[in-house]
Amino acid sequence: MPDDLPRPGRRATLSAVARSILVSSGLVLAYYLLPMDAPLNGGTVTGLVLGLLAVTALFLGQVRAIARSPYPELRAVESLAIVLPVFVLLFATSYFLLERSSPGSFTEPLTRTDALYFTLTVVSTVGFGDITARTETARVMAMIQIVGGILLVGLAARVVVRAVEAGRRRRDAENK
């Protein structure tokens, strides 16, 4: 951490990093520990859609918080550390539940780790090819994730940058 950062800035940085690590770790821990016994059916598909809407609402709330924050850059990093894991874990859960309810939806059975791995290869566009979607439902879900990932990375990056700029302008106006 640079020594020229003022003490409140250091404290805010450490707090933002700690919150980001705690939230991300908590989300991954919940993914592995919460029971996932429900089959993928109309109710769980509705849950996926509601989850995607919740990610959108969470993102919009974070944009507002970035613009109002005294440290908009830190808040932007912290926001991404919340929104991205929620997005990834939402799809990992969906893939896991799909494989449990319709075995053979993927080229191999998915454990929670396999589902998370597949989700990360899709969102990162690496696509090793070792696990692939075999059924139409699995492919549609992967397409939705791809489009969502493109929107999240492209559109979100632009919106976050604008929110940081707005936060800086607001902060500079208050300091004059």
The pLDDT assigned to 4 comes to: 55
The pLDDT assigned to 139 comes to: 96
The pLDDT assigned to 14 comes to: 87
Exposed e or buried b for every residue in 87-105, given b needs 16+ CB within 10 A? bbbbbbbbbbbbbbeeeeb
The pLDDT assigned to 6 comes to: 58
The pLDDT assigned to 52 comes to: 80
Q: Which helix (H) or strand (E) holds 33?
A: helix 7-33
Q: Which amino acid is at 93?
A: T
The pLDDT assigned to 7 comes to: 64
Q: Dihedrals φ, ψ of 8, to 5°?
A: -60, -35
The pLDDT assigned to 99 comes to: 94
Please give the CATH topology (third level) of the domain spanning 50-175. Answer: Helix Hairpins (1.10.287)
State which residues of the chain have pLDDT below 50.
Answer: 1-2
Alpha helices in 34-111 (DSSP H): 42-68, 72-101
The pLDDT assigned to 112 comes to: 97
Q: At a CB cut-off of 8 Å and minimum separation 6, what does 138 contact? A: 95, 98, 105, 106
Helix/strand number for the chain, H first, E second: 6, 0
Neighbours of 16 (CB within 10 A): 20
What are the structural domain ranges in the chain?
Answer: 50-175
